Structure 1
Amino acid sequence: MKDYAEAVAFLGEWGCFQQTVFFLLCASIVPNGFGSFNLVFLTDTPSHHCVVPGINLTEDWRENIIPITVVNGKQELSSCSRYRLDVVRNLSAQGYIPGKDINLTDLEQEGCLDGWSYSKDIYQSTVVSHFDLVCSEQWKQPFTSTVFFVGVLFGSFFSGFLSDRYGRKPVLFATMATQTIFTFAQVFSTSWIVFVILLFINGLGQISNYVAALVLGAEVLTGNMRVLYSSLGTNLGFAIGYMILPLFAYFLRDWKSLLLALSVPCLTYIPLWWVLPESPRWLLSQGRVEEADAIVRKAAEWNKVQAPRVIFEDCSIKKTKSQKKHYTVLDLFRHSSIRSTTLLLCLVFFTLTAGYYSLSYNTSQLHADPYISCFISAVVEVPAYFSSWIALRYLPRRLSVIAALILGAVPLFLIQLLPEYLSSLSLVLEMLSKYSITTGFSLMFAYTTELYPTVIRNTATGMTTTVSRMGSCISPFLLSLSAYFKYLPYITLGTLGVVSAFAALFLPESFKRPLPETIQQMHERKRIKCPCITRDGTSAPVELLDGPV
């Protein structure tokens, strides 16, 4: 039987059919861009202090009833305490003047028994101000993000298996629906617990939608268009959503309005069900030759080319029996060669994901205006995605990933060597590191889809993505290490980068090689033949391993 790309070569690489699939799938990824980072605004903590009820106090006491604390060397109003109201009321009634007749540091303090007053300079309301996730409840704010990432982790794990079992298209639209419905439902949360439960379910569909769209496009498109889609197309779709987020958040400063604005437009994706096809590669792997044939013939009509009488020669004879087997995540560890590749990919992907989210959330604090800082963080990704596309088109995958890891790690080590007055140079180094890590992060999605055969491609992508999501879950804890030593997060991420770069040396290469269709082809592609001299002095081809076995 011919290779799939060879069998459908008569369609060309960039006809009407391929253009439609390319742009519609890229558009389906846009919600992932703002969905992955909307918590930056939803869970931001506005400036706040204790509410002072309308009791009879002099103006001097009303202005000084909130204690002054020192935070990072700056004096600020206390966020979680006030001077005892009964004491202040008595002192005010007796005519004592704060700071003159009374030393304020001698007064007893109490918590915010009447609630908090939140600044509306930046936000009208956030989840934090709505549910009072401050002071003794402050732990709920980072925990909210953790719940979301745990949902993403579970979604990545199960969606890969479901996609290989039931098809790319059903999982794509099911996860898009999950993402849309539960983002909308969060608006009506009656408590923080309800909000995080809905957020967890929302997370199940977030990256699952991205992975399903990535694999579907990578299997439908061929040649340079597949590389362009897997690297630049999908990532620019994500970046567009990321850049839209601060724009929406700037004009809609209420958390409920922002969620509505991010969810309702996604209803426009419903008609895509009747336009986007199922993956012909996946249909062939399941022995559903007639359905794959019908999709390709429809594509030929769209591209206005003549399809051959038989497109997938001998496929029904050789494929139907062997491909009825259903593969699970265990098949990624059953054979030593696949197991080694999976473990190495998990390590590299974990490092890049931890670095990507740590630097993304850290850069959001680099400017006083969160809208500007979020936009800058998003814009940096655009040149990174172009770099990953160029690397995927012209450079070996393994070399590109190693270079991205090293170039991402070195600036993180250099930051700690700079004096504090060169803060601008530190910012440049951190942006350089994010650029490199984002490039590598983008490369890994395309690299992973190229290494595994059709029958377990989505399972493998889901598995490696699941492990990588653990990196996003620990990123808030990595950033918190700065409380012990300012540069400890940078050192940790840099060390992980160097270790992963060494591990990547043992990954197989997939540059300029066709996508494998079966497990056997994945084994075979790891071996390259070279002429070597035998003991009798003659030349003979000998198999060398290209990657772990």
Structure 2
Amino acid sequence: MTDSTPFLSQSEELSDESKQPSSSLEETIEQCIGHFGPAQLLQAILVSLAWAFDGQQTFVSVFTDAQPTWHCTPPPDGGRTSSCNSSSSSFSDFCQLPGDDPSWAWDKPIYTSIISEWGLQCASSLIRGLPASSFFFGCLLGGLVLATLADSSLGRKNLLVLSCAVMSASGILIVFSNNIWIYSALKFFNGVGRSTIGTCSLVLCTELVGKRWRGQVGVLGFIFFALGFLSLPLIAYINRDSSWRTIYFYTSVPTIFYTILVHFFVRESPRWLFVRGRKEEAVSILKSISPAGQTLSFSNLVVEKESWNIDTYSALKILLSKKWACQRLCVVMVVIFGTGMVYYGMPLGLGNLSVNLYFSVASNAISELPASLATFFLVDKVNRKDSVLVLCVLSGGCSILCVLVETVSTVLQVGLELVSYFSACTALNIMLIFTLELFPTSVRNSALSTARQAPVLGGTFSPVLVAAARSNGFISYGIFGLVIGVCGLFVLLLPETKGKPISDTMDEEEHRQI
């Protein structure tokens, strides 16, 4: 960045401020925080840490709701006959046995899974998938209802605090569930709380830095999400013989302390404060996070005012009323729906593969780390549209092949599943950053949060597909592959944003399209 602007100058040049031309908000922000300093790094890490707790709650049901294994027990009193056939331990045979039949038993204590504790092993796929589906439905509803609050009354930081508090509180209450109906209801509220965490964190991070660092800072959240996901197999394995409630306890309590940390130490987005007319607060934050030794001046700053008043849902209304914005949002949602179905569905379906559950979940979680690194390097070097298209097609092809090679090689099947999941993760990461750049500050959080409901919608159906796939693998992985492949083609309808500045108002974005 050059030093010739009137908004980032040495103190001896302040006397000439009145002679300097007016500057837009984008130019001022760039001059103030375009250089990435220690204060911005600390803020980015604190805000991005929310993704770790998000990742834990998103995939915790992979272990807590897992179908446990079982075995036949020897006949009592040395008898020769038993109603349990150890040579054919399929669940179709298993469900013919009475629940209190002493000829079979679970491999682990009954309280290690909700399936065994509440006797759901032979329930319909709708019942078994109800808790996970309720969680994703809560994410869907919460995202639609709460998202616009970050653009209107609450702001990015306060909504992040509220979301983390609701998610942690509902997670702790889940520990006291005594049937699947209460459990599913609490999972719904858990999803409502979780729904806007990733969105608020990503938007807040990218609005605290200049455009040069947007992509790299955005990737921090994806890395923390992967670490949170990766911690689940470790927590579950350590507590493999304990109650499934223990996993919820260990993943929910730390979030309470994190919520307090965010409330006291995280800064609000200066861009949002400026757009809302709270200039003094925005200036104070910019001074606190700008590099040391720089003198800031905002006397010549011109902030373009929107022609519409921001109330609770006006951000969403303006998105839908502007033709160009509505078209972009619809296309983005179609693409993210496809990537999200693979992203959320594949980990839930790992229990249907002939591999160790802890190993397969850990492998998927680990694959998110290189996906985040790939995003880090691709985001500044490759066009958004080209990279997303290639990754979606690759993920779809590998997902379908994963079903076709099921009888050929377990190792090959796992390898294809990991490639498909890695590609979907990377595509989803890039699409989230892409979405940030497609919409201006005044509606950015609402647009991104609305777009993020598309993969959640896919996640709502995924648990049912996974439960039904125990008899036919194509119902899950085959459908996942077809959906992401077709949806990925829609990215060609979006304008390229790589290397271009982001707008702060709808009027500014419309002017750039002329």
The TM-score with structure 2 as length reference comes to: 0.86
Q: Which moved more, 1:489-498 or 1:380-389?
A: 489-498
Matches within 5 A, 1:106-117: 111-112=98-99
Map of 1:7 onto structure 2: 28
> 8 Å contact 1:48–1:79 — kept in the other structure?
no
Contact kept in structure 1, 2:55 and 2:226, CA below 8 Å: yes
Instruction: State the distance in 2 between where 1:490 and 1:203 align.
Output: 24
Residues 315 and 442 in structure 2, CA contact (< 8 A), matched pair in contact too: no
- Report whether the alignment pairs 1:79 with 2:94: yes
Residue by residue over 1:160-193, the C-alpha shift from the partner in whole angstroms, topping out at 9 and shown as x without a partner, is: 1111112111100000001111101111123322
C-alpha distance in structure 2 between counterparts of 1:413 and 1:246, whole Å: 26
2:250 to 261, 264, 278: 261
1:141 deviation in Å? 2.0
Task: Give the Cα–Cα distance (whole angstroms) in 2 for the partners of residues 309 and 178 of structure 1.
Answer: 40
Out of 221-230 and 173-182, give the one that drifted further: 221-230
User: What's the offset of the Cα at 1:18?
Assistant: 0.5
Question: What are the superposed Cα offsets for residues 429-473 of structure 1, whole Å, 9 maximum, x if unpaired?
Answer: 222221111110111111111111111111111111112211111
User: Measured at CA, do residues 282 and 380 of structure 1 come closer, stay the same or move farther in structure 2, by a change above 3 Å?
Assistant: same
Q: Which residue of 2 aligns with 1:275?
A: 265
Partner of 2:65: 43
Q: Figure out how many residues of one structure are paired with residues of the other and give that number.
A: 486
Match status 1:34 vs 2:56: yes
Rounded to whole Å, the distance in 1 between the matches of 2:406 and 2:138 is: 41
Give the drift of 1:479: 3.8
Aligned to 1:58: 77
Measure the CA separation in 1 of the matches of 2:434 and 2:471.
37
Q: Contact 1:162 / 1:171 at 8 angstroms: preserved in 2?
A: yes
Please show how residues 352-391 of structure 1 align to structure 2 within 5 Å: 352-366=339-353, 368-391=355-378
Deviation at residue 424 of structure 1 after TM alignment? 2.8
> Is the CA contact (8 Å cut-off) linking 1:32 and 1:210 kept in structure 2?
yes
For 2:468 and 2:113, how far apart are their aligned partners in 1? 26
Cα distance in 1 for partners of 2:471, 2:177 equals 37
Distance 2:102 2:263 in 1: 49
User: Which one-letter code corresponds to 2:267 in the other structure?
Assistant: P
Report whether the alignment pairs 1:67 with 2:84: yes
Shift of 1:247: 0.6
303, 327, 332: which is aligned to 1:340?
327
| Structure 1 residues 398 and 524, CA gap change in structure 2 (3 angstroms) | farther
Q: Who is 1:537 aligned against?
A: none
Q: Give the corresponding residue for 2:140.
A: 153
Shift of 1:26: 1.7
Does the C-alpha gap of structure 1 residues 77 and 146 become closer, same or farther in structure 2, counting only changes over 3 Å? closer
Match in the other structure for 1:545: none
Match of 1:475 in 2: 462
Residue matched to 2:310: 325
Pick one of 181, 185, 188 that aligns with 2:169. 181
1:25-76: CA deviation from partner (whole Å, max 9, x where unpaired): 1212210111111101111122358999xxx963216xx44332876xx668
- Structure 1 residue 241, shift from structure 2 partner: 0.3
**Partner Cα separation in structure 2 for residue 428 and residue 350 of structure 1:** 24
SS of 1:509's partner is: coil
What amino acid is aligned across from residue 437 of structure 1 in structure 2? Answer: A
Amino acid at match of 2:167: Q
Contact (CA 8 Å) 1:49, 1:79: kept in 2 or not? no
Local SS of the residue matching 1:420: coil
Question: How far is the alpha carbon of 1:346 from its aligned partner?
Answer: 0.9
The amino acid that maps onto 1:60 is G
Over the aligned positions, Cα root-mean-square deviation in angstroms equals 2.9
1:163-178 matched pairs, under 5 angstroms: 163-166=150-153, 167-178=155-166
Aligned-residue identity in percent: 24
Provide the C-alpha distance between the structure 1 equivalents of 2:364 and 2:275, rounded to a whole number of angstroms. Answer: 41
Q: Say which structure, 1 or 2, has more relative contact order (CA 8 Å, 6+ apart).
A: 2
**SS class of match (2:175):** helix
Q: Find 1:142's aligned residue among 129, 132, 135.
A: 129
Distance across 1 between alignment mates of 2:401 and 2:79:
50
Task: Establish whether residue 435 from structure 1 lines up as the match of residue 456 from structure 2.
Answer: no
Normalising by structure 1, we get a TM-score of: 0.81
Q: CA deviation at 1:5?
A: 4.4
Shift of residue 502 of structure 1? 2.5
Q: Aligned partners of 2:143, 2:105: CA distance in 1, in Å?
A: 37
Q: What is the CA–CA distance in structure 2 between the aligned matches of 1:77 and 1:472, rounded to whole Å?
A: 27
Contact 2:84/2:104 (<8 A) preserved: no
* Cα drift, residue 322 of structure 1: 4.3
Structure-2 change in CA distance of 1:75 and 1:389 (3 Å): closer
**Could you say if the C-alpha distance between residues 293 and 57 of structure 1 is closer, same or farther in structure 2, counting changes exceeding 3 Å?**
closer
Tell me the alpha carbon deviations over residues 95-118 of structure 1, each in whole angstroms, 9 at most, x when there is no partner.
Answer: xxxxxxxxxxxxxxxx33589975
Paired amino acid for 2:83: I
1:306-321 correspondence to structure 2 within 5 Å: 306-310=294-298, 313-315=301-303, 318-319=304-305
CA radius of gyration, larger in: 1
